[in-house]
Structure formats: C-alpha cells, structure tokens
A and B are shown apart, each in its own frame.
Chain A
C-alpha cells in the first residue's frame, strides 16, 4: 500500500458528512476552503460525492436515525478511505452524553482513523490534523 498511499497523499479529496452536529464544526470546515485558510494549497479539495473521495470528514454525535445512513455512505466509499472525526462531539460526547437519541458507540458504525478535538476545533487545528494524516501516508 505504501506506493499507493504516497500517490494519494499528493491530493486528498475530501467528502464531508454531518451526523447530528451543532453545525459549527461544519462551518469551520467550509471556512477552510475560503481565502483566509485556503487548504487547496495542500491539494485538498471538497468534493460533492462520496464516490470521488479519499477522506471522509465526519462531525456530530450520530443520532439513531442518521446512523444507518452514515454506515451506508461509508460502505459506498471507494477503499481505502480515511475517516477523520472533527470535534469534541466525535471524540467525546461533548454535552450530549445523556441524550436518549444518540447511538451508544460511534466506532461500531464506522472505523475512525484520526480525531481532531475542539468545540469547534480551530481551522489551524484542522489543518494540523490533516497535515499529520498526509505525513502518515507519506510514511
């Protein structure tokens, strides 16, 4: 895989899904591609379909209604796909740990490769996370 990963790291295409977040993480992700932060200089690009993506950015706590759909999206993705979890919602439960409508364990639904904590993480933190991912891919 090393050979393939190195090619992949040059231009990661990102698809972004939201599984019941508060929406702020998603806004910050969009902020990344606007002139102030401009992640396209790392070759990252937000794409409109999971079929084109190499990285899946997920946010939110996954409520019970949306969980099967997220699983479906993950299954539709061409492998290898790297799942990056953005926000405290994904890594801990943030303030929703007592919610009656969330799934018990998000890792059962999709495997997660990288966590970026913060509520919401600063764009700089997200860039740092993604750069780490690129570093790992480069070996």
Chain B
C-alpha cells in the first residue's frame, strides 16, 4: 500500500474535503485533530514541514500547512479554518515540530493568529518596530 493511502486510512474521518492533484493532497482538519495529524505526518511518515500559509477568506482565516515527503515528492497540506476573525486561536505544533517556531511567529505577525502553547509568542518581523504596531502587519496599514 502506498504511503498516502495508508495515511488517509489511519486518519479516517478526521479528514474532510479532500482535494487530490498530481502529487499534492489538500484536506481539511479540525483544530482538535491537528496535533494528531501532524504527529503522524512528521514522526511516523518522516515528512518535512515546508511552511504554513495564512489566507484570509470570506468565511474566516485559513492556515494551510505544507508537509513534504521527500522520498516521493508529494505534498500533504492539512488546512485549518478559523471562523473567528477577531481573535483567531489555533493549537501550536511546536511541541511536535521544532522548526515550526518561526513559521508560527510569522503567521502571528502577518495575520494575528495566536498559537496556544507556543514557547515564545512574539512578533517575528515587526519585533521592536519603531512605530510600535498594534495591528497585524497585513491589516490596518495604509500603503
């Protein structure tokens, strides 16, 4: 059995709205299940976290994690949708993937998404910004 089939079987109904493309899988996971899915991807399958993308949509904020399986060149992209745009909160995956620390700080900086249990929830790019920005970088600034 292929790795990806095994993965989708193991995760079962934790995964919804799955989109398959050539060597790319996009799927939704809930905030509660995120850690489990990430744990399977990172520890069991040995995937590497490429990055995470924040997207603002009409229905809320989306975080799309990109896990790369380096042996087959496949991407697994779990997507977490946050309805609450004012105070977005997601579970941090830093306890599982150490390399996610900066990635999550960057998301906090751009979109104001707070990560629970993050060891150092600070701005990344706008730390000590001379204008003392209150808002996330991508909102409320005139160009």
Please name the residue on chain A nearest to B128 by beta carbon.
Answer: A65
Partner of B143 from A65, A67, A68, A98 at Cβ < 8 Å: A98
Q: How far is the CB of A30 from chain B (nearest CB, A)?
A: 26
Please name the residue on chain B nearest to A69 by beta carbon.
Answer: B130
Contacts of A65 in B (CB 8 A): 126, 128-130
Contacts of B129 in A (CB 8 A): 64-65
- Say yes or no: is A100 at the interface (Cβ < 8 Å to chain B): yes
- Which A residues, 85 to 102, have Cβ-Cβ distances below 8 Å to chain B? 98-101
A41 to B130, CA, bound (A): 41
A115 to B137, CA, bound (A): 31
Binary interface encoding of chain A residues 62-94 relative to chain B, with 1 for a CB under 8 A from any of its CBs, else 0: 001101100000000000000000000000000
- Say yes or no: is B44 at the interface (Cβ < 8 Å to chain A): no
- Say yes or no: is B98 at the interface (Cβ < 8 Å to chain A): no
Interface residue SS majority, chain A: loop
A-B contact count (CB 8 A): 16
Taking A100-B137, A100-B141 as known contacts, 14 extra A-B pairs with beta carbons closer than 8 A to each other, sorted by chain A number, are A64-B129, A64-B130, A64-B131, A65-B126, A65-B128, A65-B129, A65-B130, A67-B130, A68-B130, A98-B143, A99-B143, A100-B142, A100-B143, A101-B137
A68 to B132, CA, bound (A): 14
- Which B residues, 79 to 126, have Cβ-Cβ distances below 8 Å to chain A? 126
Please name the residue on chain A nearest to B127 by beta carbon.
Answer: A65
A68 to B128, CA, bound (A): 12
Contacts of A68 in B (CB 8 A): 130
For this complex, 13 residue pairs linking A to B, each with C-beta atoms less than 8 Å apart, are: A64-B129, A64-B131, A65-B126, A65-B129, A65-B130, A67-B130, A68-B130, A98-B143, A99-B143, A100-B141, A100-B142, A100-B143, A101-B137
